[in-house]
Amino acid sequence: MVSAVPVLLAPTAVLSSTKTAANSRAMTTPSSKLKPSKSILKPPTSTPTTSNIGQKRKRVEMDMSSTTTSDMGISPDDEDDEDDEHVSPMTSPSPAKKRARVKFELDMPNIKHQDEKKGINNNNNSNAEKSTAMVREEVRRAIQRHLTGDSEAYDRVKEIFTADPKELEDDGSPVYDVPSPTSLRNHLLGLFSNVSALDGSCSGLVHAVLGSEWLGRDEGYVKLFVRFMGTLAAARGTYLNSVLRVLVHGFRQVGPRIGKLPGYPVVYPSEIYARVHMATRYIIQLIPAGSGALSPLIAASFPHDTDTAKAHIVYTRNIIKIIDYAPELRSDILGLVTEKLVKIDVQFQVDLEDADEDIDDDNIPAMSSPEAIALGDEDDEESDTDTIASDDDDINDLESQRAKKRAETKQKIDYMIDILFEYYSLPFTKGTVDEKETANDLLLSHFQTIILPTYRSRHTQFLLFHFSQSSPIFIDRFATTCVQIIFSKSQPTILRQYAAAYLASFVARGAHVSSEVVRDVFDLLGTHLQNLRSEYEPTCRGPDLKRYGPFYSTAQALLYIFCFRWRDLTTAALEADISITPASSSNWLDNLDLDDARFPPQIKEVLVRAVYSKLNPLKICSPAIVSEFARLTHHLAFMYVYPLIETNKRLRISSFRSLTAMAMESRFGHVEREIKADDDLGPQLDAYFPFDPYHLPRSRRWIVNDYLEWRGIPGVDDREEEDEFDDDETDGSLTADEGVESEEEGETGTDED
Helices (H), 469-514: 472-487, 493-509
Residue 681 has pLDDT above 70, yes or no: no
| pLDDT confidence bin for 176, thresholds 50/70/90 | low
Residue 129 has pLDDT above 90, yes or no: no
Q: With contact defined as beta carbons under 8 Å apart, do 555 and 617 qualify? A: yes
Higher pLDDT pick, 154 / 120: 154
Residue 637 has pLDDT above 50, yes or no: yes
Q: What is the mean pLDDT of the segment spanning 300-322?
A: 96
| pLDDT confidence bin for 611, thresholds 50/70/90 | very high
CA 688 to chain centre: 25
Q: With contact defined as beta carbons under 8 Å apart, do 418 and 367 qualify? A: no
Residue 429 has pLDDT above 90, yes or no: yes
Phi, psi of 510 (to 5 degrees): -70, 115
Domain assignment present for residue 401? The answer is no
Highest mean pLDDT among 129-138, 340-349, 715-724: 340-349
Domain assignment present for residue 6? The answer is no
What residues are paired with 676 via a beta bridge?
A: 683
Beta strand ranges found along 576-716 (DSSP E):
674-676, 683-685
Where is the domain boundary, 301, 319, 344? 301
Q: What pLDDT sits at residue 369?
A: 60
Q: What pLDDT sits at residue 585?
A: 53
Residue 511 has pLDDT above 90, yes or no: yes
Residue 267 has pLDDT above 50, yes or no: yes
Q: What is the mean pLDDT of the segment spanning 29-53?
A: 40
Q: What pLDDT sits at residue 590?
A: 61
Q: What pLDDT sits at residue 670?
A: 38
| pLDDT confidence bin for 447, thresholds 50/70/90 | very high
CA 405, 410, 414: angle at the middle one, nearest 5?
150
Q: What is the mean pLDDT of the segment spanning 340-368?
A: 74
7-16, 475-484, 642-651, 695-704 — which is least confidently predicted?
Answer: 7-16
Q: What pLDDT sits at residue 558?
A: 98
What is the rounded CA–CA span in Å between residue 138 and residue 122?
A: 26
CA 552, 467, 411: angle at the middle one, nearest 5?
90
Q: What pLDDT sits at residue 575?
A: 80
| pLDDT confidence bin for 156, thresholds 50/70/90 | very high
40 DSSP assignment: S
Residue 378 has pLDDT above 90, yes or no: no
Domain assignment present for residue 1? The answer is no
Residue 699 has pLDDT above 80, yes or no: yes
Domain assignment present for residue 308? The answer is no
Q: Structural domain tally of the chain? A: 2
What is the rounded CA–CA span in Å between residue 121 and residue 712?
A: 80
Q: What pLDDT sits at residue 272?
A: 96
Domain assignment present for residue 404? The answer is no
Q: Per residue in 683-694, pLDDT tens?
A: 788 888 999 999
pTM of the model: 0.74
Q: What is the mean pLDDT of the segment spanning 501-511?
A: 97
- For residue 60, give every residue at least 6 positions away whose Cβ sits within 8 Å of its Cβ, in sequence order, or none: 23, 26, 27, 29, 31, 35, 37, 177
158-162, 305-309, 351-355 — which is least confidently predicted?
Answer: 351-355
Domain assignment present for residue 612? The answer is yes
Domain hosting residue 680, numbered range: 461-753
What is the rounded CA–CA span in Å between residue 128 and residue 35?
A: 13
Domain assignment present for residue 440? The answer is no
Residue 74 has pLDDT above 50, yes or no: no
Domain assignment present for residue 511? The answer is yes
Nearest to 741 by CA among 358, 424, 191: 358
What is the rounded CA–CA span in Å between residue 692 and residue 359?
A: 12
Q: What is the mean pLDDT of the segment spanning 530-554?
A: 95
Where does residue 162 rank: exposed (0-12), middle (13-18), buried (19+ CB within 10 A)? middle
Residue 325 has pLDDT above 80, yes or no: yes
Give the whole-number percent of the chain exceeding pLDDT 70.
64
Q: With contact defined as beta carbons under 8 Å apart, do 276 and 215 qualify? A: yes
Where is the domain boundary, 284, 301, 318? 301
Where is the domain boundary, 250, 266, 301? 301
Residue 401 has pLDDT above 90, yes or no: no
Residue 676 has pLDDT above 50, yes or no: no
